[in-house]
Structure 1
Amino acid sequence: MLSRVLLTLIILLASTSHASAQLSSEQKIAKDKGLELYNQLKAISAVPFLTVAAEAGDHEAQYFLAESLRTKNHYMTTEARHWYEAAASQGDLYAMIQLGRNKNDICEIKNDCPTNQTKSIDWLNQARDLAKPKADNGDAEAMYVMYELTLENEWLEKSASAGFALAQYWMAVGYKQGNGFSLPWKRTETTEKWFKASAEGGYPKSMMEYAAILYEKSDLNGFRHWNEKAALAGYATTVYGYGSDLAHEPDTYGFPLDIIKGYALIYSLKELDGGGGLQPRVESKLPKIAAKMTPEQIMEAEEFARKWKATHPPLSFFPDKLSR
């Protein structure tokens, strides 16, 4: 118990000392680029950019650098643990959870972990000690963290009811998979309710789930609305579908033909350079659209793509923050 109290004090002092730390403009640019690459499922490319901000003390960069290193190596390396611990020491609850959940630490495999290394259970207990008061005080994200720590659905529902879009998404997924109500129509209503709430809260994966529900109800206007919203948010998978629909390749959902914009959106996905596995589909789709265009239209579309990139959020697959 004493060790937990000491750990709490250390974390609180560290997080307080870093609370006012500011990144330079160059460090902020590096962090943003690193997060962009990470969200495009290009963890290896993200590492050097995130390292710049992580070394400057930014706990979010430290966390995602650790995630990138663990993803790259498929296990918890010494370097990944270092950055998780750096983030956790600043009160990053997600870093504590990952340290607590870790079952594949290289030092455990080699049987040479430092004797003073904090145990997994201590990190989980520490996360709970920090998250619980925040959750009890109405913090919706802290409620979700409590769900991740306890797997108690009560916390997930509290978080969703408090407006946390990710919790709303997982509530909907749970009901969609058959959890909760035994009456099919009631389960369907509740699934739709939570996907709609999450979509309205700005979560692109829920936008597409809700769009699919509306399509099944023959609400094509609603489907097109949420499809476009997800694309505008930068959800790469939807950008591909939306671009294809606008170019009528194929014309399935009744979008008005806009071949310039359609080609531009598919063209913009080339920057993913293999991230997320969309590259083969992009390379297959672009020639089909180009076959219906003049050279001048293609040039106009490429310019449209450049302007789109400058005025919209970066492309992203919106991976779960707590990767497995």
Structure 2
Amino acid sequence: MEEIPSATFVFSRQTKSLILMKALTFLLAASLFTICKATPLKQQEQVVSPGVVLYNQLKIDAAFPALEKEAKSGNTTSQYYLGEAIRKRNGYMTPEALHWYESAAENNNVYAIIQLGRFKSEPCQEIRDCSPSKKTQAEWFELANELVLPKAQKGDPESLYLMYEITLNREWLEKSANAGYPTAQYWMAVSERQGEGFFLIPGKREASIKKWLLLSSEGGHPKAMMDYLQILFEEGDVVGMRHWLETAAATGDQAAISNYGAYIAHTPDKIGYPLDLVKGYALFTLLKELEDSGGIGRYVERKSKEIRKKMTSEQTEKSLEVAKDWKATHPPLSFFPDKLGN
């Protein structure tokens, strides 16, 4: 496959150990969308604010003022992401980050509540820049459980997944995956790839991983699509690769778009797409908007020049219209960072 910077995650295998990551998180905490009482989760997730779009594009400096404006207006999703952005920028839970997490948590944002449950004060105490949380870790997890468990018991797929994040009990993850939640299906595949689960018959583990990635891909999970493409590549399924790469690109995933744009422009022609220089260049024009987020700047610039050399001035002009139309009819570009990030 086309080699681009590792930060873009193209057809890469998940290298981190899910179980180790979850175990470490649990030790720090107890030792993949906002839930509110009034509005259903899925309804809330339909609207993505400008600040969250910038956060998902890893344009953190640009995201801060937008997220802060949205957070101050009472947007609990933006309050959560502002807390995430501040914590990640500083490498620990600052008083400002804690404030925004707790602001979201006071409005029953379960993601914020879970992160507060995972928060240990020792790192910030060492730096002497720490404010006490309004609840203990155990109290935050108890609140999360109170909000999520009733919905999980009724079979709500996302709530089942959140119970896994709260308890780290893999049974909840499997229940959520079986209930059709794409994020849970993706992490089931990752966990099995890292050795979880029991498979006595040779080949069953690989078949199960492929099954979960396909189900998650069909549910619209971009990272699952990219991992599923790797399996199709190894199997030599070019027809399947053409379908899923185009589908992944339509989600806004920057890695899928960069590969799709390169392949339809035949730079190189890897999987037999019809040549479309105009659309290929248009997609790289859009990727330039990410600047050097995720370290992709040089790659995008190099590929853009490579495609441009093949084009007429008329084609270049037409590509601007195609780029504008794509942007208007597709989700924003995104790196799709995990919502419950470390």
Q: TM-score if structure 2 supplies the norm length?
A: 0.83
Structure 2 counterpart of 1:36, from 47, 53, 57: 53
TM-aligned CA deviation for residue 61 of structure 1: 1.1
What is the aligned counterpart of 1:218 among 210, 222, 236?
236
Distance of aligned partners of 1:118 and 1:292 in 2 relative to their CA distance in 1, 3 Å threshold: same
- 2:91 maps to 74
The 3-state SS of whatever aligns with 2:214 is helix
Residue aligning to 2:12: none
Identify the match of residue 263 of structure 1 among 272, 281, 302: 281
Quote the Cα distance in structure 2 between the aligned partners of 1:192 and 1:218: 14
Q: Which amino acid in 1 is paired with 2:175?
A: K
Report the alpha carbon displacement of residue 194 of structure 1 after superposing the two structures with TM: 0.5
Residues 140 and 163 in structure 1, CA contact (< 8 A), matched pair in contact too: yes
Task: Output the CA distance in 2 between the equivalents of 1:177 and 1:122.
Answer: 32
Q: Distance in 2 between matches of 1:147 and 1:265?
A: 37
Query: Which whole-Å CA distance do the structure 1 matches of 2:154 and 2:107 have between them?
Result: 21
Q: Which amino acid is the alignment partner of residue 319 of structure 1?
A: P
Contact 1:44 1:68 in 2 (8 A): no
Counterpart residue number, 1:316: 334
SS of the residue aligned with 1:57? coil
Name which of structure 1's ranges 300-309 and 267-276 shifts more when overlaid on structure 2. Answer: 300-309
Runs of 4+ off more than 6 Å: none
8 Å Cα contact 1:43-1:71 kept in structure 2: no
2:63 corresponds to which of 46, 56, 59 = 46
Using structure 1 for the length normalisation, give the TM-score. 0.87
What corresponds to 2:73 in structure 1?
Answer: 56
Q: Distance in 1 between matches of 2:236 and 2:215?
A: 20
Aligned partner (choices 150, 154, 163) of residue 171 of structure 2: 154
Which deviates more from structure 2 when the two are superposed, residues 271-280 or residues 154-163? 271-280
Cα deviation per residue 1:176-197 (whole Å; 9 max; x = unaligned)? 2232224341001111110011
Q: Work out the percentage of aligned pairs sharing the same amino acid.
A: 50
Give, as a single letter, the amino acid of the residue that structure 1 aligns with 2:249: A
Number of residue-to-residue matches in the alignment: 300
How big is the shift at 1:115? 6.2
In the other structure, the counterpart of 1:197 is 215
Work out whether residues 44 and 69 of structure 1, in 8 Å CA contact, stay in contact via their aligned partners in 2.
Answer: no
Tell whether 2:194 aligns with 1:177. Answer: yes
CA separation of 1:270/1:179 partners in 2, compared to 1, >3 Å: closer, same or farther? Answer: same
Structure 1 gap ranges (5+)? 1-14, 21-27
Give the RMSD, CA atoms, in angstroms. Answer: 2.0
Q: How does 1:4-23 map to 2 (within 5 A)?
A: 19=38
* Distance in structure 1 (CA, Å) of the matches to 2:133 and 2:211: 48
Q: Which residue of 2 aligns with 1:235?
A: 253
Instruction: Provide structure 2 residue ranges, at least 5 long, that are not aligned to the other structure.
Output: 1-35, 40-45
CA contact (8 A) 1:43 1:69 kept: no
Counterpart of 1:138 in structure 2 is 155
Q: In structure 1, give the amino acid aligned to 2:140.
A: W
**Which amino acid letter does the alignment assign opposite residue 151 of structure 2?**
K
More helix by share: 1
Structure number with greater CO (CA < 8 Å, separation at least 6) is 2
